Amino acid sequence: MITWLLEPLSHDFMVRALLVSALVGGVCGLLSCYMTLKGWALMGDAVSHAVLPGVVLAYALGLPFSLGAFVFGVGSVTAIGFVKQKSRVKEDTVIGLVFTGFFALGLVLVSKTRSNIDLTHILFGNVLGISQADIQQTLLISALVVAVLLLLRRDLLLFCFDPTHARSIGINTGLLHYVLLSVLSLAAVAGLQSVGIILVVAMLVTPGATAYLLTDRFDRMTLLAITSSVLASLLGVIISYWSDSSTAGCIVLVQTGLFLLAFLFAPRHGIFRQHPEIGA
């Protein structure tokens, strides 16, 4: 067991991969609490896919890819909001068509730009081969996301719980909406480092859902989400090392496994432990 855990650490690339994916896991885990409570899973999926053209363009222009991803992430959300408001098409339909449009644009751009972008790395992550520059960007993004989420945690919680009340006491809910979406775009960029665009939504939803089954207190929920997400990232990377399989797949599978455990055995909300609510 000890060797199973320690042997991977003798490789520099594995140490880097473990650290980066744990960091990204923690950041996405924190954000996932707001995503699940706000019901923004689909929005997370949309934003993470929509950043593709931004990433490609940034690479082609030699800019930091997080910048491009951020612009297109927020751009897609603005487009969704605009089309929803100006047409009679329902929101989930608008989300579906906007993000696939952005994603398709990204695919075409990848095939048209002569650069050394490896599409599979963007789509499925490449945490084992992450570069020094990418690590720095991820650190920066993570610090920013965590700072915003911690400073605004009570406002964001209220915004998710009861936006009408938030509004009526003078909190700018429109601004909070866009802050949360911006943070989501940034976290999606960080997440695609470790698991890639396709699976990043799992990082943004699963830990929050797992924690939600385990507690009725928000503070504990954030701690549990972060813990389960970091644990899943570390275990996933190590399992992928020993089984020589997709790192992204392993990380997300462990996350799904943790969710299943909570789903079955959670003290109050697991299906084996459910008892009728007792009113007082």
Partner 1 sequence: MRIEADQVCVDYNGRVALYDASLHLPAGSICGLVGMNGAGKSTLFKALTGFVRPSRGRIRINGQRVAQAQREQAVAYVPQSESIDCGFPVSVWDVVMMGRYGAMNLLRIPRQSDRIAVRDALERVDLLELRHRPIGSLSGGQRKRAFLARAIAQRASVLLLDEPFNGVDVRTEKLMAELFLQLRRDGRTILISTHDLSHVRDFCDLVVLINKTVLAYGETSEVFTPENLELTFGGMPPNLLTGPSSAEEPEP
Closest separation in Å from C-beta 209 to partner 1: 12
Per CB under 8 A, does 164 bind partner 1?
A: yes
Instruction: Tell me the C-alpha distance between 77 and 104, whole Å.
Output: 16
Per CB under 8 A, does 40 bind partner 1?
A: no
# residues contacting partner 1 (CB under 8 A): 29
Rg (Cα) of the chain, in Å, rounded?
19
Give the nearer residue to partner 1 in terms of CB position, either 7 or 162. 162
Residue 47: which of 263, 203, 273, 249 has the closest Cα? Answer: 203
Instruction: Tell me the C-alpha distance between 170 and 144, whole Å.
Output: 25
DSSP letters along 227-270, please?
Answer: HHHHHHHHHHHHHHHHHT--HHHHHHHHHHHHHHHHHHH-TTTS
Per CB under 8 A, does 167 bind partner 1?
A: yes
Closest separation in Å from C-beta 93 to partner 1: 17
Give the nearer residue to partner 1 in terms of CB position, either 70 or 218. 218
Instruction: Tell me the C-alpha distance between 276 and 28, whole Å.
Output: 33
Give the nearer residue to partner 1 in terms of CB position, either 2 or 278. 278
Q: Which one of residues 109, 157, 237, 266 is an interface residue with partner 1 (CB under 8 A)? A: 157
Cβ(196)–Cβ(248) below 8 Å:
yes
Instruction: Tell me the C-alpha distance between 15 and 29, whole Å.
Output: 21
Footprint of partner 1 on 184-213 (CB under 8 A): 212
Q: How far apart, in Å, are the Cα atoms of 137 and each of 67, 109, 188? A: 10, 23, 13
Q: To which H or E segment does residue 13 belong?
A: helix 12-38
**Contact range with partner 1 by CB under 8 A, out of 59-67, 147-155, 240-248, 252-260:** 147-155
Per CB under 8 A, does 91 bind partner 1?
A: no
**Contact range with partner 1 by CB under 8 A, out of 130-138, 150-158, 176-184, 188-196:** 150-158
Per CB under 8 A, does 170 bind partner 1?
A: yes
Q: Which one of residues 4, 13, 82, 161 is an interface residue with partner 1 (CB under 8 A)? A: 161
* Interface residue list for partner 1 (CB under 8 A): 37, 85, 151, 154-155, 157-158, 160-162, 164-171, 212, 215-218, 220-221, 277-280
